[in-house]
């Protein structure tokens, strides 16, 4: 199996440490916080994700234009995406953590998250058994690695501006006394 | 409000931090944050070690487009637990095996909670690997790239998770 050079692994480790620290500092690696978001009693998790997406979109598209990176988009395979999304959502609600916050919750010492991570490993093993049998069905109707601007034949900037405006507007509403 | 919640940073600050981290990752590793591919790699490694023939793990490797690797993302996933450990250490102990909302509905039993967490984790990972991403890989990294697959995944996942949470925790 391929193993990345140590420098690249350390870079990944450092990026992960920062990610885990931010998740914990944000108070989102908690079962009750995530379940309250799913019940729409609290908006913190969606705010973190939306802000990250808006800031990241501005940054990553600017860097891409400057030739400093390239996009890495996942393919639009409708069966895999919809089927996977349904299973994933049900699992998140039952566990009360998503994959990233599960790992962060383990680091923070939340013991139910340890059971969750063990379940995730078991799920990955089962996936390796099932995947060869269902690969063809999952990839049926593959639309390729497309973005929303490409699908709708629109420029990129209105999407990025819209996403940013949505988050800025939300922040402004919350900041009102 | 608990002590740890009072110490939490604004979700806008944390979100902006994660967005900046995405940009950093896109420059230094040419891709964004994601944490579930390493679970697939771990599953392959474990089966190669324990039962390479019986598990037919080679059939999986041959079928999968991306070869499993101990790579940048594998290290990243490990780092997430380290980062939260560093932060939580400074916030004082909070040893609670059964979350409050769970206990209110399903009782304080540890076994029941662990069993549900295990099953939820397994279901969640099956979904993530089927769709090739999770709340990080699709939910943040994919949506910020305006990937059609990621916006569709996020919408489906949100509806499914909200419906399941309502069924599990909503009023009866």
Instruction: Note the ipTM here.
Output: 0.97
The answer to whether residue A135 sits within a structural domain is yes
- A43 exposure class (CB count in 10 Å sphere: 0-12, 13-18, 19+): middle
The answer to whether residue A18 sits within a structural domain is yes
The answer to whether residue A1 sits within a structural domain is no
Take residue A162 and report the two structure tokens written for it. 């819209």
For A72-95, how does the pLDDT look when each residue is reduced to its tens digit (9 = 90+)?
999 999 999 999 999 999 999 999
Cβ contacts below 8 Å, chain A against chain B, sum to: 536
Candidates A83, A91, A64; CA nearest to A156 is A64
The answer to whether residue A160 sits within a structural domain is yes
The answer to whether residue A75 sits within a structural domain is yes
Is residue B118 within 8 angstroms of chain A, CB to CB?
A: yes
Among chain B residues, the shortest Cα distance to A77 is held by B149
Which residues form the domain of A149? 6-175
R_g of chain A computed on alpha carbons: 19
Cβ–Cβ gap A72/B32 under 8 Å: yes
Q: What average pLDDT does this structure show over A113-119?
A: 98
Q: Which pLDDT belongs to residue B93? A: 62
Contacts of A15 in chain B (CB under 8 A): 21, 24-25, 28-29, 33, 72, 76, 79
The answer to whether residue A84 sits within a structural domain is yes
The answer to whether residue A14 sits within a structural domain is yes
The answer to whether residue A30 sits within a structural domain is yes
- CA dist A22 and A141 (Å) reads 38
CB B153 within 8 A of CB A85: yes
Question: Within 13 Å and on the Cβ side, how many CA atoms surround B39?
Answer: 32
pLDDT tens, per residue, chain B with 172 residues:
444 555 789 999 999 999 999 999 999 999 999 999 999 999 999 999 999 989 899 999 999 999 999 999 999 999 999 999 999 987 766 667 899 999 999 999 999 999 999 999 999 999 999 999 999 999 999 999 999 999 999 999 999 999 999 999 987 5
- Of the pLDDT bands very low, low, confident and very high (cuts 50, 70, 90), residue A147 is very high
Q: How many domains does chain A have?
A: 1
């Amino acid at each position: 199996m391929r193993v990345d050079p140590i420098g690249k692994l350390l870079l990944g480790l450092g990026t992960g440490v920062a990610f885990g620290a931010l998740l914990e500092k944000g108070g989102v690696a908690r079962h009750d916080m995530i379940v309250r978001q799913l019940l729409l009693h609290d908006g913190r998790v969606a705010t973190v994700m939306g802000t990250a997406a808006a800031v990241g979109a501005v940054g990553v598209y600017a860097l891409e234009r400057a030739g400093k990176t390239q996009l890495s988009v996942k393919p639009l395979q409708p069966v895999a995406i919809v089927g996977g999304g349904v299973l994933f959502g049900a699992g998140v609600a039952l566990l009360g953590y998503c994959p990233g916050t599960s790992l962060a919750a383990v680091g923070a010492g939340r013991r139910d998250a340890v059971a969750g991570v063990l379940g995730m490993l078991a799920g990955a093993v089962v996936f390796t058994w099932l995947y060869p049998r269902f690969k063809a069905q999952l990839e049926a109707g593959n639309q390729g690695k497309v973005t929303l601007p490409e699908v709708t034949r629109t420029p990129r900037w209105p999407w990025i501006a819209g996403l940013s405006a949505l988050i800025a507007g939300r922040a402004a509403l919350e900041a009102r006394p | 409000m608990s002590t740890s919640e009072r110490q939490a940073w604004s979700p806008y600050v944390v979100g902006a931090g994660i967005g900046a981290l995405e940009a950093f990752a896109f420059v230094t590793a040419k891709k964004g944050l994601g944490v579930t591919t390493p679970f697939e790699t771990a599953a392959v490694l474990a089966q190669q070690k324990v039962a390479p023939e019986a598990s037919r793990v080679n059939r999986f490797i041959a079928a999968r487009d991306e070869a499993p690797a101990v790579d940048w993302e594998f290290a990243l996933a490990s780092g997430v637990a380290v980062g939260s450990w560093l932060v939580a250490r400074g916030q004082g102990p909070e040893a609670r095996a059964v979350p409050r909302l769970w206990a209110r509905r399903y009782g304080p039993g540890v076994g029941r909670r662990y069993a549900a967490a295990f099953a939820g984790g397994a279901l969640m990972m099956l979904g993530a690997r089927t769709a090739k991403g999770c709340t990080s890989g699709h939910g943040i990294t994919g949506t910020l790239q305006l990937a059609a697959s990621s916006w569709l995944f996020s919408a489906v996942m949100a509806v499914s998770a909200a419906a399941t949470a309502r069924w599990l925790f909503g009023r009866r």
